[in-house]
Amino acid sequence: MKTAFDSLDKNPTRPSRRFWDWLPWFGGGGSTSTPPKSERRPREAFEKRDRPTLGIALSSGGAKGLAHIGVIQVLEENGIEIDAISGTSMGAYVGAMWASGLNGQELEALSAEIQERRDLWSLVDPVPWPRRGFIRGRKIEHRLRKTLGHRRFDELAKPLYLLTTQLESFDRVVIHEGDVVSAAMASLAIPGIVVPVVRDGVEYVDGGVCDPLPVSVLRDEAGVDYVIAVNVLPSIDEFHESRRVEPDCKKRPLWQRPFCWLNREVNWAARGNLLDILRSSAMASQMRVVEHSTVLADVLIRPVDREARWHDYTGYRRYIEVGRRAAEKALPEILALISDQSPSLTSETGTPNTREEDAH
């Protein structure tokens, strides 16, 4: 079953980059070219298996996406093999690392490198004149390349499909070939916060703009039998509930009040300030879009932490534990799928008969 997004262009090829695309005062390009379609991965590309093939879709969600690591750990510990991975934004970041051959414990070790806020700020490279975004993203790219180098999609341990959004047309684009790091960066360039990423002459922004939970690509292009969807995004109601309680500086100890006030007045990422408004607005639209993708999955895992902040990467242990609990709850359903004992899909809608509920 296809979604409304599936008629859009996918799998861009890579035209040569023009000289002026490298010049910083042109903002990395601004090409008006649209990437042409390329050959899709055939369903027969999977080797003959004595079990159903299984794909996993990892959603966007900022720091909340670290919960994907907990899900991965539980799958590995229970011998559940994943045949194809798709990811958007933070899901693309984690998915690319996993597809390269790292296991869940190694992914946790990488996330543990950000222990304090100063570790997080070390990845921020602010733009002096933020005309198109506040962060360049080069330090994040450097961090990715420390692990992935210049690896290409066909060199990965597992098939990987990364979702991004073409800036000029806002088309949904699936990247499945070429350089992995540039594809991941294209998927996580949050509009208004991170400068749009130029990949082979075409500008991209966060894939969550059009497809925050890329389920359909695993059926249409990878050709897997079943799909597990991991959605870390809260529902609209959960999101509103988490924002009802605002920090009250007057209720804090006297010595903390000046710092509380300063954070509110100076920190652009503080609750209700510019970056928070940009990110919250983007997440609000994603929360609505993701509802249409969840019904396409055979198993839905929701490692949702209502109190977590989208930029709190220092709380990695908390997120990973939430992911582990949600995955453990879903294990019986997943094991039924791969043993071919799961409920069949309805012939008309392709909508699964069972669904894993929230794990808090």
* pLDDT attached to residue 63: 87
Quote the DSSP letter at residue 359: E
* Average pLDDT of the segment spanning 68-87: 97
Rounded to 5°, angle at Cα 160 from 309 and 11: 105
Q: Report percent pLDDT > 90 for the chain.
A: 43
Q: Report in angstroms the alpha-carbon separations of 213 from 44, 85, 233, 313, 322.
A: 24, 12, 9, 21, 18
- Is there a catalytic annotation at residue 89? yes
Residue 82 has pLDDT above 50, yes or no: yes
* pLDDT attached to residue 180: 97
**Residue 343: which pLDDT band, with cuts at 50, 70 and 90?**
very low
**Residue 274: which pLDDT band, with cuts at 50, 70 and 90?**
low
* pLDDT attached to residue 105: 97
Residue 130 has pLDDT above 50, yes or no: yes
* pLDDT attached to residue 68: 97
* Residues 259, 81: Cα–Cα separation, whole Å: 49
**Residue 319: which pLDDT band, with cuts at 50, 70 and 90?**
very high
Q: Report in angstroms the alpha-carbon separations of 281 from 62, 163, 180, 191, 272.
A: 13, 20, 28, 11, 11
Contact 119, 187 (CB under 8 A): no
Chain mean position to CA 217: 14
The pLDDT tens digits for 109-122 are 999 887 666 666 66
The pLDDT tens digits for 90-114 are 999 999 999 999 999 999 999 988 7
Residue 185 has pLDDT above 80, yes or no: yes
Report the greatest alpha carbon distance in the chain. 67
**Residue 132: which pLDDT band, with cuts at 50, 70 and 90?**
confident
- Within 37-83, strands assigned E span 54-58
- Among residues 21, 206, 211, 298, the one annotated as catalytic is 206
Contact 305, 235 (CB under 8 A): no
Cα torsion 311, 214, 105, 233 to 10°: value is 40
The pLDDT tens digits for 138-161 are 888 999 999 999 999 999 999 999
Residue 31 has pLDDT above 90, yes or no: no
- Within 6-150, strands assigned E span 54-58, 84-88
* Residues 249, 269: Cα–Cα separation, whole Å: 17
* pLDDT attached to residue 4: 39
* Average pLDDT of the segment spanning 175-182: 96
**Residue 127: which pLDDT band, with cuts at 50, 70 and 90?**
confident
Chain mean position to CA 42: 24
Nearest to 307 by CA among 253, 243, 233, 255: 243
- Among residues 89, 182, 187, 216, the one annotated as catalytic is 89
Q: What is the pairing mode between strands 160-166 and 84-88?
A: parallel
Which residues on adjacent β-strands are paired with residue 179?
152
Residue 308 has pLDDT above 80, yes or no: no
Three-class SS state of 346: coil
* Average pLDDT of the segment spanning 228-250: 70
Contact 204, 165 (CB under 8 A): yes
Quote the DSSP letter at residue 178: S
* pLDDT attached to residue 76: 98
Higher pLDDT, 328 or 238: 328
